[in-house]
C-alpha cells in the first residue's frame, strides 16, 4: 500500500474510540505521524501503540478535557511543538445531547457548544496562522447531518454542528489561496458511543445506544472513508447509509425535509 501520508503529522481530537480512533488507524496505515487527543490517557496509549504497529511514523498521546476552554490554546501549542508542525488537524471530538428545547438546561447547551464549537475554534485559531505561514495545511472537522437540518431532541447538538459549517466554510473561503484546505466530515448514523455519552436535559448521561445508531455503518468503515477523503483533500465527505439521503432532500426539497425530520424517531 502506498504511504500517502508518509511524513505528514496528523492531530486528531476525540481519538480514543469511534470515528477518531478508526481514522487514526487508517492514517497510521498510510504512514502518518499521529497526535491523539481525548480524555482517557490509558486508551490513548493503547491507540498509539497500535498506530505504530500499523505503520505510523510515530504516535503521541496528548490527553485533554476540551471543556476546559481556558487551557485549549495551550493544548494546541503543545500539539504543534511535538513535531514543530501539524500538516492535518482533525477536529473530531464532540458530545451529543438528548432533550427538547424547553426542557434542556442552559448548562447542557453551554457544555455542548463549548466542546463541539468553541474548543475547535480556539484550537484552529492557534494552528491556522502557523499553517498559513508555512504555506500549506489541512483542517478537517466532524460535523453531522444534524448540522444540515434541525432534528428533534438535538437543539444544542444541531446548533453546534451548524456553527461548525459556518466557521470552517469561512476559513476555506478566506485562506484557500494561502494553501489551506478544509475537509468537512458529515456523518449520519455510525456505530459509536456518541449516543451513550450524550447529555440528557439535566446533564445526566443518556447511557444507551440509540436503535438508529446501532443500525448505522461501522466506525471502521467511517474511518477508512474519512482517511481517503483527507488524502484527496475533498471539500466534504458524507459518511453513513441511507439516512444521508436527507442531505439531498434538504438541498432540493427543503419543505419535504422538514416534514420528514418532524416524523423521524430521534432515538
What positions carry a catalytic annotation? 157
- Using alpha carbons only, give the angle 134, 16, 93 rounded to the nearest 5 degrees: 60
Only one residue has cell 472537522, namely: 141
**Cα 155 → chain centroid:** 18
119 Cβ neighbours under 8 A, 6+ residues apart: 66, 67, 69, 72, 93
Helix-strand-coil percent breakdown of the chain, rounded to 5?
50, 15, 30
Angle at 36 between CA 111 and CA 75, to 5 degrees: 60
Give me the residue label for grid cell 438508529.
212
114 grid coordinates: 463549548
CA dist 101 and 104 (Å) reads 6
**Partners of residue 37 on adjacent β-strands:** 13
Amino acid at each position: 500500500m502506498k504511504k500517502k501520508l508518509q511524513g505528514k503529522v496528523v492531530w486528531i481530537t476525540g481519538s480514543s474510540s469511534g470515528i477518531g480512533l478508526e481514522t487514526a488507524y487508517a492514517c497510521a496505515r498510510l504512514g502518518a505521524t499521529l497526535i491523539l487527543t481525548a480524555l482517557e490517557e490509558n486508551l490513548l496509549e493503547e491507540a498509539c501503540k497500535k498506530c505504530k504497529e500499523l505503520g505510523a511514523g510515530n504516535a503521541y498521546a496528548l490527553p485533554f478535557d476540551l471543556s476546559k476552554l481556558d487551557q485549549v490554546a495551550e493544548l494546541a501549542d503543545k500539539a504543534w511543538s511535538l513535531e514543530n508542525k501539524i500538516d492535518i488537524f482533525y477536529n473530531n471530538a464532540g458530545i451529543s445531547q438528548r432533550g427538547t428545547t424547553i426542557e434542556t438546561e442552559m448548562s447542557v447547551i453551554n457544555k455542548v457548544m463549548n466542546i463541539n464549537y468553541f474548543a475547535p475554534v480556539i484550537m484552529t485559531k492557534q494552528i491556522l496562522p502557523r499553517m498559513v505561514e508555512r504555506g500549506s495545511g489541512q483542517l478537517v472537522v466532524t460535523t453531522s447531518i444534524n448540522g444540515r437540518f434541525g432534528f428533534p431532541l438535538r437543539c444544542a447538538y444541531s446548533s453546534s454542528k451548524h456553527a461548525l459549517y459556518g466557521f470552517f466554510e469561512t476559513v476555506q473561503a478566506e485562506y484557500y489561496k494561502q494553501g489551506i484546505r478544509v475537509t468537512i466530515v458529515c456523518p449520519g448514523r455510525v456505530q459509536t458511543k456518541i449516543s451513550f455519552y450524550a447529555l440528557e436535559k439535566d446533564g445526566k448521561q443518556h447511557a444507551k445506544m440509540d436503535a438508529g445508531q446501532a443500525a448505522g455503518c461501522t466506525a471502521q468503515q467511517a474511518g477508512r472513508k474519512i482517511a481517503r477523503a483527507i488524502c484527496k483533500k475533498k471539500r466534504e465527505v458524507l459518511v453513513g447509509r441511507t439516512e444521508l439521503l436527507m442531505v439531498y432532500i434538504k438541498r432540493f426539497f427543503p419543505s419535504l425535509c422538514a416534514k420528514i425530520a418532524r416524523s423521524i424517531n430521534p432515538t
